[in-house]
Chains A and B, each alone.
Chain A
Amino acid sequence: MNHQVLAPAGPLSSEIAQLFWVFVAVAAVVYLLVIGFLVAALRRRNEASMRTALRTVSVAVAITSVILLGLGLSDFFAGRALAATPHDPLRVRVTAHQWWWEIEYSDAQPARRVRTANELRIPTQRPIELELTADDVIHSFWVPSLQGKKDLLPGYTTRLDLIASRAGVYEGQCAEFCGFQHAHMSIDVIALEPQAFTAWYDAQLSAAAEPQNPVAAHGRDVFLGSTCVMCHNIQGTDASAVAGPDLTHIASRRRLAAGTVPNNPANLAAWIRDPQALKPGTHMPATQLAGDDLAALAAYLSELR
C-alpha cells in the first residue's frame, strides 16, 4: 500500500515516522510500567507502607516530567528540521474544490505553466513547495507516505513542502471533512525520475491531441456540442470553462473523478453517463447521450494523453 504513515518515501515523512516510533517506544514502556504497578497494587497480599507509596508517587511524577520534556523537545527539533526552507523548490499551486484538486505548476513564463487535476507529478529528490488554497470549503492535503497534512482554507494560502526519495505512486486523500464526497477526494502524487518528469511536463504543455479516427472526431463534436463545455476546458478546442477539472490530458491520468475509479474507457463512459451513481452528490450532472455518442465521447477523451 502506498498511503502509509509508517512506510515513508521521503526524508520529511521519514523524520515523522522515526519520531512516531520514538513516541511509541516511550509510550509502551510507560504503559507497561503503570499497568505493572496497578496489577501489583491490586494483587498484593500486604498493605504497602505509606512512605514507600508516597516516595514512588514522587519518583513517578519526576520521571513523567522528564519524559514529557524529552518528548516535547524531540518534537520541537523534528519540527525545526521539517520547517527548513527548501533550496530551489518546484512551486505548485493546489486549489481544492468540492471534490477534486486543481493543480497548477508555476513558471516564470506563463506559457510554460501546466494545469492539471487530481494528479500531482513531481520529480524525485527535488523539493516541491505547494501553495495551498481552497475555492469553497476547507480541505486538507494529505499524502501520508510523503508528508504530514496541511489544510487548504478559503481566504488563506498555506504552504507545504514535499520530497520524494524514489519514484512511485503515492496516494493521498482529503483529510478535512468537506461534504458529500469527502470520501472520494483522492490525489495521486506520482514521483518520476527527473528526466521522465521533464518529458511529462513538456508533453503537458502541448494542446490536446487531435482525434485520430472518425469515432474520436465525432466524440469531440459531441463534447463541444453538449453539456461538457459548460464546465470543462480542453486546450486547443473551444472548450474553455474552468468550473471543473482541465481535461486536456485526461487520458494520461491514473484515476477518474479524484480517485473514485481507475481511468479506462469503460469507467469513463459510466462516469459521464451517470456520475451520481459512482459519486453521489458530485457537482457533475448526468449527461443524456445516445449510446453511440457516449462511446464516441469516451473514445475521444481516452485519446487525450
Chain B
Amino acid sequence: MSPLEQTWADKPGILGWLSTVDHKRIGLRFVVTTLVFFALAGQLAAVMRLQLARADNHLVGPDLYNQLFSVHGTAMMFLFAVPVMEAVALYLIPLMVGTRNVAFPRLNAYGYWLFLFGGVMLFVVFALNIGPEAGWFNYVPLSGPEFSAGKRSDFWAQLITFTEISALIGAIQIITTAFKMRAPGMTLARMPLFVWAMVVTSFMIVFAMPSVMLASTFLITDRLVSTQFYNPAEGGDVLLWQHLFWFFGHPEVYIIFVPALGMISEILPTFARRRVVGYVAMVVALVTIAFLSFGLWVHHMFTTGLPPLGMSFFTAASIMIALPTGLQIFCWIATLATGKRVQFAAPLLFVIGFFFIFIIGGLTGVMLGATTLDSQLHDSYFVVAHLHYVLIGGAVFPLFGGFYYWFPKLTGRMLSERAGRWNFWLFFVGFNVAFFPMHILGLQGMPRRVYTYSAASGWENLNLLSTLGAFTIAVSMLVFLVNVVMSLRRAGRAPHNPWNAATLEWATSSPPPAYNFATIPVVNSRTPLWEQKFPMAEVTGLPDILPTVLVTRLHDAEPDHVAILPTPSLWPFLAAIATTVMFVGSVFTPWAVVWGAVPVGITLIGWFWPDKEEAARMLSIEVKPSEGEARVVALREALS
C-alpha cells in the first residue's frame, strides 16, 4: 500500500463502516437510503391507489388513509426528493471539481446518520400507528394540540428537524466544496453545470429551511408547552403557519427541481457530443429561478382571501418563473440540434421523458399561478396531477437518467441497456396513465385527500385507470431493481469513461479509489476530458501522511493553501445517536432538550478534541501562512 492509499483507507470491519468519512461511501449509502424510503413511500401510494380504485371502497378507513398520504408526502419530499439530490451531489461534487473529499467529512457523516435515524423514526412510528395524519404541509389547527391527539404531529415536527439539519449540513458542505476546493484552473466559469445547480440549490436550502424549522418548532411548543402561536383566540394566527411553511415550501420545489436541471445539463451534452449551448445563460437562469422562487409562496394561499393586489404580484412572479425554466429547455434543444448524431442510450431516454412530462407540468403550473384559475384548481386532483408531473417528470426522470448515467462510476458496473429501455417505457407510460386522468378528475370537482368518493360522483373509471397506471409504475421500479441487482452480480468492470463524457469524475477509475485522484489535475477548459491536452498539468507535493486537499481561490481557482481534513471517527455516529435521543425525547417532554443536550455536548466535544498523535503529525507538515505567502505568488505566475 502506498502512503496515499494508507492515509485515505478506512479501518476494516464494522468499526470502519461506522466511522468512515469518505464522501463516496457516505454518498452511496445516502443514495441507497433515500431509495429505500422512496420505495416505502411508493408502496403507501400503491395502497392509496387501491383504495381509490373503486367508489365507496372499504379497503382502508379514513384514519389509516390520512396517515398514508401524510407519510407518503412527507417521506417523498423530506426523505427522498431533497436528500437524494444532495446525496448524489455529495458523492459526485468532489469528483467533478477534482478534489479528494468534501470540505467537512465528519459533519458529512453526522448529516447522513441523522438523516437515517430521522427517516427510520418516521416509518417506525407509522408502523406503530403514530404516523403523521395532517398531510405533508401539516396545516394548523388540524395538526395543532386540539385536533391532533397523541404524538402523531409531534413526530412529524421532529422529522422536519432531523431532515432539515441534515439538508443544511449538506448545503454548507456543497457550497464550501464547490467554492473552495476546485482543481486549479477550474474557474467559476468552468464549473460543471451540475455543480452550479447544486450551489444554487444549497443557497436556497440555507435561506428556505430555517423557515420551516421555526414553524415546526412553534407547532411543537404549541402542542407540548401551550404556546399560543397558532391560536386565534389568544392573538395567534392560523395563516402564520401557511406563510412560514410555504416560504420554505415553494423554494423546496425548486430545491428538488434545480439539481435535476443540473443533471440534464451533464447528461444531454454527453449524448449530443457537444458542449451545452448557452452556459452563461443557464447559470443566470438557475440563479434567477432561485431568487424568484422566494417570491411566490403566496400562490399556495390564493384561496385564503388575502388582499387581491398582493396576489397579483405573486401571480406575476409565479408566471414569470416559467421564463428561466423555458430558457433552459430551449438551450438543451439547441444543444441537441447543433450536436453530433444523438446516441439514444438509457440515460438520454429518461431525459427525453423529462421534456415530454415536465413541460405539461410547467404549463399547468402557469395555470395554477393565475389567481382566478387557481381558485378552481387549487386543492383538487388537478393539483395532484400537476405536482406529480413537475416532481416526477421534472426531478425523478432526470434522476433515473442520472442513475443510468453515473451507475458505472458509483459501482464499476454498467446497467443493462435493454432493461433500461423497459424500465423507461413502463415508467413513462405508467406515469401518464396514472397521473394524466387526475387533471380531468380535478376539473370534475374531485378534491384531493379524500379517502373515498361515491359512485354517483362519476369519478370511478378515471380513478381505476389511474390505479392501473400506478401499478405499471411499480412494475417499472421492479425492473429497475432487477437491473441493478443483475448488473452488480455481472462480471466485468466499467471503464473510466464509458459514455465518453467531458467532466472530471470520468477521469478516475470506476469506482474511484478512496483518495479519488492519484494526483489532482489542473483544468483549463469547461469540458476538460474532451480537450486534447488534458490534463494540462498535475499538482504535486500534497502531503500524504494525513488526508490533505488543495484549497483554491473562489473565483479563479488558483492554489491558496493545503487543508488537512479530519480522519475517520466514530464520534459523528455517536453524536447522531445522542441527537436522535434528544429529538425523540422532546416529543414527550420539553425537558429532553435539557438533559438530552448533555450527551450531545459530550459527543461533540469528543468529536472536536484533537488526537495527540495526529496533532503531532500535523505539526510535522505545518507551514505557517506567513511562511507560505511568497510561494503562492510564484504559483499564480506559473498558472497564468
Given A48-B337, A53-B338, A150–B380 Cβ distance below 8 Å? no
- The answer to the question of B303 belonging to the interface, with a C-beta cut-off of 8 Å to chain A, is yes
Q: Which of B90-98, B449-457, B556-564 contacts A (4 or more CB under 8 A)?
A: B449-457
Given A1-B444, A68-B366, A159-B305, A183–B326 Cβ distance below 8 Å? no
Q: Are B315 and A75 in contact (CB under 8 A)?
A: yes
Q: Are A64 and B322 in contact (CB under 8 A)?
A: yes
Q: Are B375 and A150 in contact (CB under 8 A)?
A: yes
- The answer to the question of B331 belonging to the interface, with a C-beta cut-off of 8 Å to chain A, is yes
Bits for A152-183, please: 1 = Cβ < 8 Å to B, else 0: 01111011000000000001111111111111
B320, B363, B452: most-surrounded residue (chain A CB, <10 A): B363
- The answer to the question of A113 belonging to the interface, with a C-beta cut-off of 8 Å to chain B, is no
Residue in contact with A177 in the complex, picked from B305, B356, B371, B448, CB distance below 8 Å? B448
User: A53 — which chain B residues lie within 8 A by C-beta?
Assistant: 277, 334, 337-338
Given A76-B315, A151-B303, A151-B305, A142–B447 Cβ distance below 8 Å? yes
Alpha-carbon distance A82/B452, docked complex (angstroms): 32
Alpha-carbon distance A44/B335, docked complex (angstroms): 12
Alpha-carbon distance A189/B591, docked complex (angstroms): 52
Residue in contact with B376 in the complex, picked from A44, A148, A177, CB distance below 8 Å? A148
User: B319 — which chain A residues lie within 8 A by C-beta?
Assistant: 68, 71-72, 75
Residue in contact with A175 in the complex, picked from B322, B333, B380, CB distance below 8 Å? B380
- B142 and chain A: residue at smallest CB distance: A137
Alpha-carbon distance A23/B367, docked complex (angstroms): 7
User: A192 — which chain B residues lie within 8 A by C-beta?
Assistant: none
Residue in contact with A27 in the complex, picked from B304, B367, B444, B447, CB distance below 8 Å? B367
Residues of B248-288 at the interface with A, using a CB-CB cut-off of 8 Å, are: 277-278
Given A19-B370, A68-B323, A183-B452, A148–B375 Cβ distance below 8 Å? yes
A106 to chain B, nearest CB (A): 19
A104 to chain B, nearest CB (A): 19
Alpha-carbon distance A140/B449, docked complex (angstroms): 13
User: A3 — which chain B residues lie within 8 A by C-beta?
Assistant: 444-445, 457
User: A177 — which chain B residues lie within 8 A by C-beta?
Assistant: 66, 134-135, 139, 142, 379, 448-449
Q: Are A75 and B334 in contact (CB under 8 A)?
A: no
Q: Are B303 and A1 in contact (CB under 8 A)?
A: no
Alpha-carbon distance A31/B449, docked complex (angstroms): 29
Alpha-carbon distance A146/B424, docked complex (angstroms): 42
- The answer to the question of B355 belonging to the interface, with a C-beta cut-off of 8 Å to chain A, is yes
User: A54 — which chain B residues lie within 8 A by C-beta?
Assistant: 277-278, 334
Residue in contact with A72 in the complex, picked from B305, B316, B356, B379, CB distance below 8 Å? B316
- The answer to the question of B609 belonging to the interface, with a C-beta cut-off of 8 Å to chain A, is no
- The answer to the question of B233 belonging to the interface, with a C-beta cut-off of 8 Å to chain A, is yes
- The answer to the question of B237 belonging to the interface, with a C-beta cut-off of 8 Å to chain A, is yes
B342 to chain A, nearest CB (A): 6
Alpha-carbon distance A180/B322, docked complex (angstroms): 37
User: B329 — which chain A residues lie within 8 A by C-beta?
Assistant: 34
B492 to chain A, nearest CB (A): 30
- The answer to the question of A231 belonging to the interface, with a C-beta cut-off of 8 Å to chain B, is no
Given A4-B445, A41-B333, A57–B305 Cβ distance below 8 Å? no
- A262 and chain B: residue at smallest CB distance: B456
- B311 and chain A: residue at smallest CB distance: A79
Alpha-carbon distance A178/B141, docked complex (angstroms): 9
Q: Are A71 and B308 in contact (CB under 8 A)?
A: no
Residue in contact with B238 in the complex, picked from A147, A155, A181, A182, CB distance below 8 Å? A155
- The answer to the question of A268 belonging to the interface, with a C-beta cut-off of 8 Å to chain B, is no
- The answer to the question of A280 belonging to the interface, with a C-beta cut-off of 8 Å to chain B, is yes
Bits for B410-442, please: 1 = Cβ < 8 Å to A, else 0: 000000000000000000000000000000001
Q: Are B237 and A155 in contact (CB under 8 A)?
A: yes
Q: Are B338 and A64 in contact (CB under 8 A)?
A: no
Alpha-carbon distance A171/B458, docked complex (angstroms): 13
- The answer to the question of B63 belonging to the interface, with a C-beta cut-off of 8 Å to chain A, is yes
User: A65 — which chain B residues lie within 8 A by C-beta?
Assistant: 323
Residues of B229-253 at the interface with A, using a CB-CB cut-off of 8 Å, are: 232-233, 237-239
Q: Are A27 and B366 in contact (CB under 8 A)?
A: yes
User: B63 — which chain A residues lie within 8 A by C-beta?
Assistant: 180, 280-281
Alpha-carbon distance A13/B305, docked complex (angstroms): 18
User: B320 — which chain A residues lie within 8 A by C-beta?
Assistant: 68, 72
A140 to chain B, nearest CB (A): 6
Alpha-carbon distance A56/B311, docked complex (angstroms): 34
- The answer to the question of A16 belonging to the interface, with a C-beta cut-off of 8 Å to chain B, is yes
- The answer to the question of B488 belonging to the interface, with a C-beta cut-off of 8 Å to chain A, is no
Q: Are A158 and B304 in contact (CB under 8 A)?
A: yes
Alpha-carbon distance A31/B342, docked complex (angstroms): 22
Q: Are A138 and B141 in contact (CB under 8 A)?
A: yes
B447 to chain A, nearest CB (A): 4
Residue in contact with A42 in the complex, picked from B134, B331, B342, B378, CB distance below 8 Å? B342
A43 to chain B, nearest CB (A): 9
- The answer to the question of A195 belonging to the interface, with a C-beta cut-off of 8 Å to chain B, is no
Residues of B338-391 at the interface with A, using a CB-CB cut-off of 8 Å, are: 338-340, 342, 352, 355-356, 359-360, 363-364, 366-367, 370-380
Q: Are B355 and A35 in contact (CB under 8 A)?
A: yes
11 contacts between A and B (CB under 8 A): A5-B444, A31-B359, A54-B277, A61-B326, A64-B322, A137-B147, A148-B303, A151-B305, A154-B232, A158-B304, A175-B378
Q: Which 3 residue pairs of A and B lie closest in terms of their CB atoms, listed nearest first?
A: A148-B375, A155-B232, A3-B445
Q: Contact residues of B with A, CB < 8 Å?
A: 61-63, 66, 134-135, 139, 141-142, 146-147, 232-233, 237-239, 277-278, 303-305, 308, 311-312, 315-316, 319-320, 322-323, 326-327, 329-331, 333-334, 336-340, 342, 352, 355-356, 359-360, 363-364, 366-367, 370-380, 442-445, 447-453, 457-458
Besides A53-B337, A76-B312, A171-B445, 12 other A-B contacts (C-beta < 8 A): A1-B444, A1-B457, A13-B376, A30-B363, A47-B340, A53-B334, A76-B315, A79-B312, A138-B142, A156-B239, A182-B62, A281-B62
